[in-house]
Structure 1
Amino acid sequence: METQVKLLKSFSVDDYERGILQGNRTILAKAITLIESNLPAHRETAQNLLTRLLPKTGRSIRIGITGVPGAGKSTFIESIGSMLCSLGYRVAVLAVDPSSTRTKGSILGDKTRMDSLSRNPYAFIRPSPTGGTLGGIACKTRESILLCEAACYDVILVETVGVGQSEVTVRSMVDFFLLILLTGAGDELQGMKKGVMELADAIIINKADGDNKIKAAATKAEYNRILHFLKPSTPGWISKAYTCSALEGEGIEEIWSEIKEFRQNTISSGFFHERRKKQKLDWMYSMVHEHLKSSFYNNPAVQNSIPEIEQSISKGLLTATMAAEQLLDIFENRTKGMALDGYSTQTD
């Protein structure tokens, strides 16, 4: 931590801004480290930097990618990322790694799993630990997207840990949402929630190669039948299922063509920019929620009261609802008291 703080101290807001606008990947990586920091001084510097860079953001296509474990998300990202780089696009990958709920540690192995793409000068890969956030969405992913856009990356790929409730959060920060599934597992539909499929702008049946091609085609047809009865994730756009082999690169061009058509259609209809506006509002309320949650649990009066209230719940002397109300009352009274003290000091 001390080394990280020392490295961040050596850069001013001007240094970060200049380096990012020049497309310097090292400076971009340090800037993302800055916004991920919880230190108040770093947070202030990060917000100043983002404010400066805001006019340079918003020009990319943001693509969320999720899927069942083992579906080949990283292989798919390396395949489509490498193809896009060969076409002259600059690609940023924000890969969210699972953090241990016990040790808070993270694997951060995405660069290893995307070895070829990580060495491409037109690509930038940033694995970030989730820090225990819901379903594996790093708290600062939205801000990382803005930094990558300011650094002139045309395509932002956000990889999530897996299928779960967090997909709603991912949907709120990207333009196009991609769900990657497998064939040959025998029970693809059994654990798939309808809500997750409704979020997808496209479904990809990956690993459609070798003896698996015929079964992949059948699975594709099955999902297309299901999608026909679901409400589209994006108004005016019909979500479809596709097959591909990320390992062999088959079907990747077709998927990219669909994403480009999606962007063109939604921009023409005006929905693309309407969704972006709504995402900004969602972001604001999400930050309000996080701030209130942090303020509550860091409140000294609440921290001191929790052990006794927990014991009362365990002994059956207090219901969970009453306990929650007591803690909230303690928090609100403490907050009011601090506000009154501040007012008294000012008037004195």
Structure 2
Amino acid sequence: MSRLPFAHRPARHPLGRAATALALTAAVAVTASACGGTTKSSTDAAGSQTAATGAANPNAATKTALKVAFLPKQVNNPYFTIADNGGKKALDALGETYKEVGTSSGTDTAGQVSYVNTLTQQQMNAIAVSAQDPGALCTALKQAMSSGVKVVTYDSDTDPGCRQLFVSQASSEALGRSEVQLIAKEIDYTGDIAILSAAQTATNQNTWIGYMKDELKKPAYKNMKLVSVAYGNDDAQTSFQQTQGLLQQYPGLKGIISPTTVGIKAAAQYLSGSQYKGKVQLTGLGTPNDMRAYVKDGTVSAFELWDPAKLGELAAYAATALASGQITGAQGQSFKAGDLGSFTIGANGVVLLGDPTVFNASNIDQFDF
């Protein structure tokens, strides 16, 4: 998701990481064996192969004192700080042990691999990871699973066979299409638009962008054209500069979609102090606290996002349910996630948090995150 839009000078954001307001990432889940036993494989209707190890016992007691680590795309990113604190809240309530580790860069895949290897050596019971790249972590994560570590991805998925569950912000398709729908209304379905994404390899960003491009093929958007996809690497300053570059290269640009909290905030910062304020529309995924000033000064009309704290909570409950043997990651299994309610695992081991919220001048003051 890419980061969330936080801060003052183009600060780093989670959603785009948040990349990354809301986005929903689609993925295929693979459940591997944790404590030995045979692994049975099956192929779903879409042809994706999923794996489930052993049998789940939904009535099994939740284990306590489990060691669960969160590995976000980037530490000290406001979006992931909120999300991971949500995970800590859930784990504290369950009597588990929480830790967060990670790189200070949202594109340091080698660093993420190193952390996975270290967490495996430390014999974590479960790891919740937001992947910077869909394939770069696979070897390390498969080794972790073969060593008995349960692997949950959240916010940004890996390739399907590299984890047991993916906790998605929302439906990736719904997120991608809704971003186009929002910008289209703001520019009256006419004009050139650009996308300011996070990293070029970000799984969630690329999935959302794929659905954006597909949505734009519909007749309703015949007078709109996507002229560029730029990458700010979930870095505030880079995203700020990319926004400036887009407007210099395409002086007739009517709108920008930034499905990353870092990117949308940086773009809003640039637009708010430029001649393009009110002329170039901006939407995407951001946090209310990051974007409030830009909504109130007219730079941004509407954007969307989910509650990152709840995303982290759900990832923690999913990891605990896996480590307790209550679920294996197979489609149709259900688990309880505290006050969030019960969740059922969908196709390919995907668990959806729910629909994102659209924020605008009429409701933004009702939210504080």
User: Do Structure 1 and Structure 2 share a fold, with TM-score over 0.5?
Assistant: no
With normalisation by structure 2, the TM-score equals 0.27
Bigger fraction of residues in helix: 1
Q: Please, what TM-score do these two structures have when normalized by structure 1?
A: 0.29
Q: Which has the larger radius of gyration?
A: 1
